[in-house]
Amino acid sequence: MIHTDIGLLDGDRWERLIQSVFKKRYDTYQDMVASPGDLGIEGFVLDEGIMIQCYCPDEEYNAGILHEKQRDKITTDIGKLAKNEDDLIKHIGDCKISKWLFITPRIGKHDIHAHARKKEAEVKAQGLAFIADDFQILVKDLDYFIQDIRQQQIVNGTQLCFTSANGQVISEPELTTEYDDNINEKNQIRSIVKDIYKPNVHERFNENTKKQYLEGYDILRRIFNQSPELYERIAKLLNNFEDEVEEVSMTWEGNPQKLISLVEGKLIDRFEKEPYISTIEHEDLVSITKHMIARWIAECPMRIES
């Protein structure tokens, strides 16, 4: 999947969104089911002489690789127009195609437009019966359709996100010497009960914190692998909540254990108020919460002072 201004996208999701937009925009839009064969288009608008083809990469590529893949996709699918001329005419009848739209979330390089002009000339030179004299190949990115897509999301009850599209992540935990020292120092303060230091409690706190810090990430890794969109929502919530953890702990004057309990309770409550995240079982949310508490102890957003 790739990160965009409308959330995570892959090829199937992108095509569904664009199909919905064209069905809403044009009464005579007809989508093309891939079976029994791929004719090189996703659909056509009969009254307007428009054909469309969608492309969305399934992973993030740098600009150069993305350009190459988009260029090759245009070349392949434009080549199918001549190959499938008879079948296409059966579908579109007397309609003359004046525009073939290549619709992609983002453009790798502006050189794609030069490639489109080249392929345009090749198609015109073939003298295909269904191609208009003013035939154009146009490359359209997400910005051309974002208002329509947002409207579709609202109608479908999809939660809208307007923050940065760079993607939210939670880094893999790594128990460095510095983090190990942080855990030991903070847990030593936690181990003072009624002004008496409890070494056994301290040792147990250290064991649990390190275990929750290192092993607790497994559930987030599984969520990332199985549901990247859900993972991103969790990461966004946690990254925002981390600032609150730091602010609360900076001014905390009470018992450190009460601080931890307060943060745990607030985070669980925040999870369960988010409709998408709240679909996760409560015990899994507790596991994520304990991992994050251990992370904030080790990496210092949570300050515990005597």
Give pLDDT tens digits for 51-103: 999 999 988 899 999 999 999 999 999 999 999 999 999 999 999 999 999 99
Domain spanning 2-155 has what CATH number?
3.40.1350
Q: Which residue has the higher pLDDT, 87 or 229?
A: 87
- Give pLDDT tens digits for 182-224: 999 999 999 998 889 999 999 999 999 999 999 999 999 999 8
Q: What is the residue-averaged pLDDT of the chain? A: 91
Q: Within 10 Å of residue 28's Cβ, how many Cβ atoms?
A: 11
Q: Residue 58 has what pLDDT?
A: 86
Query: CA 294, CA 274: separation in Å to the nearest integer?
Result: 23
Residue 135's SS3 state is: strand
CA atoms within 13 A on the CB side of 261: 6
Collapsed DSSP state (helix, strand, coil) of residue 100: strand
Residue 241 three-state SS: helix
Contact 40, 87 (CB under 8 A): no
Among 286, 2, 251, 21, residue whose Cα is nearest residue 145: 21
Torsion of CA 80, 81, 83, 84, to 10 degrees: 100
**Does position 164 have pLDDT exceeding 60, yes or no?**
no
Question: Do 98 and 135 contact (CB within 8 A), yes or no?
Answer: yes
Give the domain ranges of the chain.
Answer: 2-155, 177-299
pLDDT of the residue at 2 = 85
Helix/strand/coil percentages in the chain, nearest 5: 55, 10, 30
φ and ψ at residue 64, rounded to 5 degrees: -65, -50
Amino acid at 155: V
Dihedral sign, CA of 240, 295, 217, 198? negative
Within 13 Å, how many C-alpha atoms sit on residue 139's CB side? 24
Q: Flag whether the pTM goes above 0.85.
A: no
In angstroms, the Cα distances linking 42 to 115, 128, 143 are: 21, 19, 19
- pLDDT value of position 163: 57
